[in-house]
Amino acid sequence: MRLLYLYPEEWTGRRAREVHTLSTCVALARAGAEVTLVTAGGERELRGQLRDVAGADEVRGLTLAALSRSLGPVRSVSIFRHHFQKWLPAQAHFDWGYIIHLKAASFLTRTHVMPYAYEAHEIFAQTPQKNEARQIKLHELERAVVCGAAVRIATSGALAAALSTWLAMPNEFKIVPNAGQEPLARGTGAADGPFVYAGSIADWKGLNLVIEAAEEAGVPLKIVGGTKEEWQRLGKHCDNCGIAWHPRVSLADLPKALAGARAGLIPTQPESASGRYSCPMKLFDYARCGLPVVSTALPSLQSLGVGSWCTQVAGSDKAAWAAALKKFRFDATQAEMARAWAGGHTWAKRAEMILAALK
């Protein structure tokens, strides 16, 4: 099977969706598919991140193509489209296109190039726009992309049901959650360690919430993510005295940064459009290290089969989180259950599910 994974953004090497995309492509190639990942530039960053994700400079069956979206100082999706349309005819036939971006669909459908699979991570039409006209246009685009997909994939059952209801269409989604790397040989959690948060420090991730809750609960907290400048900006809005902060680390170095923690935190805010149906990759990162998890009760967790090792906080307020942190006690048995669960939710397992959906 030949797959064209079209990612119409410039690669930065810093975004969670880039780790998701590259990890998926690597796993699909290792599962036997011929995969070509096309991005809108960022070749150096893309190839640099490949070693972090795959542990190698090259992966058999995976081809990387970074097509520019720049012409001098001008950057435009139209420039990328021009290069893509020149590039595509010179390639061997692709059986499938694979997209996670709405704007990518038009690249594959305007010339009826190939059938595509669309993987939904959120409901874009629920993201507030500057005016009603833009909101309507986004809703229409999302409907067209979902309806036009030959195969529809969603990262959780809750998202599939909500998207089908939103678009008033049959729920024909295949459920393929996010994933993580293989679990470590043994867990690295510790009963006397800090709670740890690893990931983006964007507002909707709920970092301020856990900072305030940890302070109220009187428990230690470690944060792994962002840059020094980003952390300093965040520090202006909260009292971060006593919090251990560590800048963003590579995927390969993340287990070391998480070692010695008592639990991983996922305070994603469900009130936001991006957070409501989030299937957070940090869940898999924590679990593979043998860390129990304390998470907002996200809808996506209901189709992931998480066990009692994942404490779900029903409220997204400081009081609810502070109570959960005060009550939590590290349990080595629960930690091992998390690590065992991670073994069934790897990128390799995810690739198997995607290939089965495309057959």
2-180+346-358 shares its CATH topology with 195-342:
yes
pLDDT digits (tens, 9 = 90+) for 323-336: 999 999 999 999 99
Query: What pLDDT sits at residue 93?
Result: 94
Beta strands in 48-115 (DSSP E): 62-66, 70-71, 74-75, 96-99
What distance separates the 2 farthest-apart alpha carbons in the chain? 62
The Cα angle at residue 118 between residues 117 and 124, in degrees rounded to 5: 170
Mean pLDDT confidence for 4-21: 95
Mean pLDDT confidence for 283-299: 97
Query: What pLDDT sits at residue 109?
Result: 81
Does the pLDDT value for residue 275 go beyond 90? no
Does the pLDDT value for residue 322 go beyond 60? yes
How far is residue 194's CA from residue 197's CA, in Å, rounded to a whole number?
10
Mean pLDDT of all residues belonging to the chain: 93
Q: Which of the following CATH numbers is that of domain 195-342: 3.40.630.40, 1.10.260.40, 3.40.50.10860, 3.40.50.2000? A: 3.40.50.2000
Domain chopping of the chain, boundaries: 2-180+346-358, 195-342
Does the pLDDT value for residue 320 go beyond 60? yes
Which of 67-71, 77-81, 233-237, 252-256 shows the lowest per-residue confidence on average (mean pLDDT)?
233-237
What is the SS3 assignment for 63?
Answer: strand
pLDDT digits (tens, 9 = 90+) for 176-229: 999 999 999 999 999 999 999 999 886 668 888 999 999 999 999 999 998 888
* List of residues 6+ apart from 5 with CB closer than 8 A: 21, 24, 25, 35, 36, 37, 38, 97, 98, 99
Query: What pLDDT sits at residue 274?
Result: 81
Query: What pLDDT sits at residue 178?
Result: 97
* Closest listed residue to residue 138, CA positions, set 152, 126, 125: 125
pLDDT digits (tens, 9 = 90+) for 153-181: 999 999 999 999 999 999 999 999 999 99
Q: Which fold has domain 2-180+346-358?
A: Rossmann fold (3.40.50)
Query: What pLDDT sits at residue 153?
Result: 98
What secondary structure letter does DSSP report for 184?
A: P
Query: What pLDDT sits at residue 112?
Result: 61
Does the pLDDT value for residue 351 go beyond 70? yes
pLDDT digits (tens, 9 = 90+) for 221-266: 999 998 888 887 776 555 556 789 999 999 999 999 999 999 999 9
